[in-house]
Structure 1
Amino acid sequence: MTGVHFLDARGPEGMRIYAIGDTHGHLELLAEMHARIAQEIIRDRPADWRIIHLGDLVDRGPDSRGVIEFLIAATARDSRNIVLTGNHDVGFLDFLANPDPEGLFARFGGVETASSYGVSLGLDNVTSLQASHAQLVRSVPESHVRFLRGLPYSASFGDFFFCHAGVRPEVPLERQDPQDLIWIRKEFLNYPGLHPKVVIHGHTPQAEPEVMANRVNVDTGVYYSGALSAFVIDGADKRLISVARPVSGRQ
């Protein structure tokens, strides 16, 4: 299978693309990133643009509800704002449908997500779990559920393929399993060969963005590092940008 090397990859002519890593409920940083991008677009006046969010909108951070509302408004205002789903976003929907105390949502940041909807998630016993789950179901607007359910798993522009976690090596991009697109790690991260397109992803937090021959990882662990990163493509030009806040400790 032939592939595209990062150094040779190009975006569509005349289109600037911003790919933003995992947000995890950090509305203030997402808003700051969008403000920075807006300034660049006003300054540089690209012929066209896209802002792609690579999933994991919710969990761990303080304002998952605010992030969803922000992105609902952004996509309604301009369809060039694109939001992909991540495993935590699917996990949130799964919990609303079936409150599993051992599932992703309950174990990895769902308490903070529930809190952003004004609900104290009870995980100590079945009674408190059922009661707080019922309260959460009532508190999450149907518009939020519809938005999350409707998120695509991937997008593709020029020589780049965008998804949350990565792709199954040597499987055509159009035949990727959605579960791989939001969950895969080892088989994808350790694959040395080229893919049909350079994969832009998040899901696996790193201290700094990873730029490899076959992929770019822009998940910089915002929930503990305080840094939200994005990868920018403008024709053959590629660069990284980030916004950050001081962090006193892990959330």
Structure 2
Amino acid sequence: MLYAIGDIHGYSDQLDRALDLIRADGGADAPHVFLGDLVDRGPDSRGVIERLMSGQAAGRDWTVLFGNHDRMFLRFVTQGAEHDPAIKSGKGWLHPALGGPATLASYGITADDETSDRGRLLAEVREGVPQSHMDWITTLPRWHRTAGHLFVHAGIRPGLPIEDQAEDDLIWIRDSWLDDTRDHGEMVVHGHTALDYPQHEGNRINLDGGAGYGRPLVPAVFDGTDWHLLTDQGRELLRPLA
């Protein structure tokens, strides 16, 4: 069996619930793939990172992918960068809509996009965010392939081999991806584009059920034949949409 968990966005309680559902399904020791966007918006990004780091350190077969929000956090701490060209609204990471202030608050740092002394803030951030967290995020893979599936955060540029994909597409893409119906040669499992509930689109599976907006984090399991979602009532077959 193989388990996958979509965008967590700082909700450590939802992560714990998802791991409990996997444990109840009998999969605590099975491979897990986390699809990125570990941080921002929720109240405990630090706790999410520490749980995942601890699980890997304990020898769990956990693959954690790199998401666009993880990159924004990394770039702010290491470079002081607030803006990403992929954000068409022009909002920076310190805008509440992006969720940076919630991530910093989990490290005991108060800030938002109206904070005037950016130099002082950055010094406080670099003092308060453990270097081990930055080192770990830096090493997160951008994609993972197994069992006839390709796992990425956002999606792929259709028609390109995975080795030729740009990082910006792997963590940001929506245009030309979400409406592409071709067979990609393997099932692409991703997050990034928040839905009300995970969906199977036939050639891809989107597991971002909107946990970053207060909806439950719904883990999924591939049993060798089919994908199922894990709920409090047990497994729910994830059928391709008509």
Question: TM-score with structure 1 length normalisation?
Answer: 0.84
Pair 1:117-2:107 in alignment: yes
d(CA) in 1 for partners of 2:30 and 2:114? 47
Give the number of the structure with larger relative contact order, counting CA–CA contacts within 8 Å between residues 6 or more apart: 1
Match of 1:50 in 2: 31
Q: CA contact under 8 A between 2:7 and 2:212: conserved in structure 1?
A: no
After superposition, where does 1:33-44 map in structure 2 within 5 Å? 33-41=18-26
Pair 1:105-2:93 in alignment: yes
Instruction: Specify which of 5, 8, 11 is matched with residue 26 of structure 1.
Output: 11
Instruction: Specify which of 23, 40, 47 is matched with residue 66 of structure 1.
Output: 47
Match of 1:213 in 2: 202
2:109 partner letter: V
Q: CA contact under 8 A between 1:231 and 1:239: conserved in structure 2?
A: yes
Q: CA contact under 8 A between 2:152 and 2:188: conserved in structure 1?
A: yes
d(CA) in 2 for partners of 1:119 and 1:172? 41
Q: In 2 relative to 1, CA 153–138 (structure 1 residues): closer, same or farther, beyond 3 Å?
A: same
- CA shift, 1:237, in A, is 2.4
1:17 partner letter: L
Which is richer in helix?
1
d(CA) in 2 for partners of 1:238 and 1:125? 45
Identity among equivalent positions (%) equals 38
Match of 1:239 in 2: 228
- CA shift, 1:172, in A, is 1.3
d(CA) in 1 for partners of 2:124 and 2:163? 39
Match of 1:203 in 2: 192
1:110 partner letter: G
After superposition, where does 1:147-162 map in structure 2 within 5 Å? 147-162=136-151
Secondary structure in 1 aligned to 2:158? coil
- CA shift, 1:112, in A, is 0.2
User: In angstroms, what is the RMSD of aligned CA positions?
Assistant: 1.7
Where structure 2 has 5 or more consecutive residues not aligned to the other structure, the ranges are 85-91, 233-242
Secondary structure in 2 aligned to 1:187? coil
Match of 1:228 in 2: 217
d(CA) in 2 for partners of 1:72 and 1:201? 21
Match of 2:72 in 1: 91
Secondary structure in 1 aligned to 2:183? coil
d(CA) in 1 for partners of 2:82 and 2:170? 24
Secondary structure in 1 aligned to 2:222? strand
Match of 1:81 in 2: 62
Secondary structure in 1 aligned to 2:3? strand
